[in-house]
Amino acid sequence: MSDRQRDILDGLARGLTNRDIACQLGLSEAGVKFHLLKIFRFLGAANRSEAAAIALRRHLLKSR
């Protein structure tokens, strides 16, 4: 998983919308959606909630 995808996954886990993630990272919403599809495929997740849960279990999120 790329650093960019980890940034997007972190935003997703914090409950940010695609628009909020895009603004925060200087991306388009379409770019965020593209990365989310790749993240879901990498994690084997069907949706945002499942991706966040898997990421938490696998310790893939940034430390706060």
Tell me the pLDDT of the chain (64 aa) as tens digits.
899 999 999 999 999 999 999 999 999 999 999 999 999 999 999 999 999 999 999 999 876 5
Position of tokens 């960019």? 4
Query: Does 64 map to a domain?
Result: no
13, two tokens: 């886990």
* pTM of the predicted protein model: 0.89
For residue 39, give its domain range.
3-57
Query: Does 20 map to a domain?
Result: yes
Report the domain count for the chain: 1
pLDDT for 63: 63
Which CA distances in Å does 8 have to 13, 35? 9, 8
pLDDT for 64: 54
